[in-house]
Amino acid sequence: MRTLKLGNTGPAVSALGLGCMGMSDDLYGPADRDEAIATIHASMEAGITLLDTGDFYGMGHNEMLIAQALQGQDRDKAVISVKFGALRGPDGAFLGFDSRPKAARNFVTYSLRRLRVDHIDIYRPSRLDPDVPIEDTMGALVELRDAGYIRHIGLSEVGPETIRRAAAVAPICDLQIEYSLISRRIEDAILPTLRELGIGLTAYGVLSRGLISGHWSKDAGREARDFRGHSPRFQGENLDRNLALVETLRAVADSKGATVAQIAIAWVASRGDDIIPLVGARRRDRLAEALGALDVVLLAQDLAAIEAAVPRGAAAGERYAPAMMAHLDSER
């Protein structure tokens, strides 16, 4: 497994990371605990070191799942990235965000206990809290880093101005944000800002929540809690248009002897050595497919064919429903 450094100040991590959210919440359909743990073990055996979670994934369940998976494993081989600040109700509803300094200190305390570790490798606010200056949040994270509770500081789904303000207070190793063939807005201003400041990027949603995996169909995602059933890109005519894009991409994949998912992951990885794709594999077979993307070499003609199959801006629908889009500083 190739390793890459996350920005100028971050750790060296595997060229592919594992996003663990779907292993706990039912937002992507029912998850199997034993299979999830086996998938984490298989990922580490394959050389994946970056494990991404959030303290609100399953309301703490995901951190406890990772803790169980890491029992008997070499802790130093896992780079644990945790997002904090999202507030949820007993029914699972999202209630907003809290990034006050005292809230950050509270959240990290609980995460350390649930994960059964003495430090978190990368700690980041999940979204920009509109009621708290980013400088205040970053100042608290610097204190936590200096005290040894966290090793590195990251950001998530924020725009260029917020990135610059945060970087003026604390060394930022990476920004976590959605980036895929059909979500490319970051190329305009966010990615250039990261590169100017020497900040890495961990890209989630590289398969657009399964939409461009090559496995999605119009009959999928019907479980009651699967949030894709309410996502604009998975609705009506939008879904028809987006699945048509997948079929054009499938022709490119077939010509390379790869799967659609592998081409989509390889495309994100090809955008630069400062970008680490996160894959949300919940099962070992999906993990094996994602790992195969690391063997896909995209030549200039392949990249041109991919761009022709899925031109920038071709996707129908926003990446989140309006209420969730309103929380994204990165979309302003």
Catalytic residues, by residue number, are: 57
Q: What is the distance between the alpha carbons of residues 75 and 169, in angstroms, rounded to a whole number? A: 29
In sequence order, the 6+-apart residues with CB closer than 8 A to the CB of 219 are: none
Query: Which residue's structure tokens are 């930022």?
Result: 172
Distance of CA 44 to the CA centre of its chain: 18
**Nearest Cα to Cα of residue 148 among 112, 124, 177:** 112
Residue 254 neighbours by CB distance under 10 Å: 12
**Nearest Cα to Cα of residue 223 among 214, 210, 212:** 210
Give 108-111 contacts, CB < 8 A, sequence gap 24+: 108/82, 108/84, 108/144, 108/149, 108/150, 110/55, 110/60, 111/55, 111/63, 111/82, 111/84
DSSP letter for each residue of 187-214: GTTHHHHHHHHT-EEEEE-TTTTTTTSS
Q: What is the distance between the alpha carbons of residues 126 and 175, in angstroms, rounded to a whole number? A: 10
**Backbone dihedral region of 208: left (phi > 0), alpha (psi from -120 to 50 degrees) or beta?**
left
Cβ atoms of 7 and 275 closer than 8 Å: no
Q: Which amino acid is at 303?
A: L
